[in-house]
Amino acid sequence: TQETQIPRLHSNATRSMSALLRTRIFSPSTFRAMTIAVNGKLPAATVALIENGKVSNDVNLAEAFAGKKVALFGVPGAFTPTCSEKHLPGYIANADKLHAKGIDQIVCLSVNDPFVMKAWADAVGAGDKVAMAADGALSFTSAAGLELPIGGQLGTRCKRFSMVIDNGTVTALNVEDGGDFKVSSAEHLLENL
């Protein structure tokens, strides 16, 4: 297998977000309860979807994923260190293995605008392996109860997660604590398919 080479995408902003995610104290009162759960339906939330370089606005994820088995994973932000160096590259590198296990589509979701998500997909070479969902208005993130309130200039982001959706029903759900990166990786999802 050929490893995907991802450029190091560091700046003061990405280092700051990474530091906040690693060091911020996340208390239970910081978060509201998740509304998404295994055996539950995917919320009818609208995002921009970037597939093979083409941006489609106002895409209802529940409708777009109907009749498919989808691996959806969420990250706090595009171009941030863990997201760019580990999380997204893991799904790109393991796309063929996920497809071999019955996954029809792999989608990365982040609270960013479609222009940033398209630029990120281009920068990391997501190509036809991973589609990008821009949830700039927190439509899906809020509906699923996956908000990560970081504060400051970074505002509210999406918790790091992975899930499998089979014809609109969540069949697997892995949500990280705070800034962790353990259970939402492509490798963890593969082990549990």
User: Which residues are designated catalytic?
Assistant: 83
Token pair of 9, please? Answer: 């995408």
**DSSP symbols for 75-104:** ES-TT-HHIIIIIHHHHHHTHHHHHHTT--
| Nearest Cα residue to 107 out of 186, 191, 179 | 186
Please say whether the beta carbons of 170 and 41 come within 8 A: yes
Q: What angle do CA 86, 91, 93 make, to 5 degrees?
A: 90
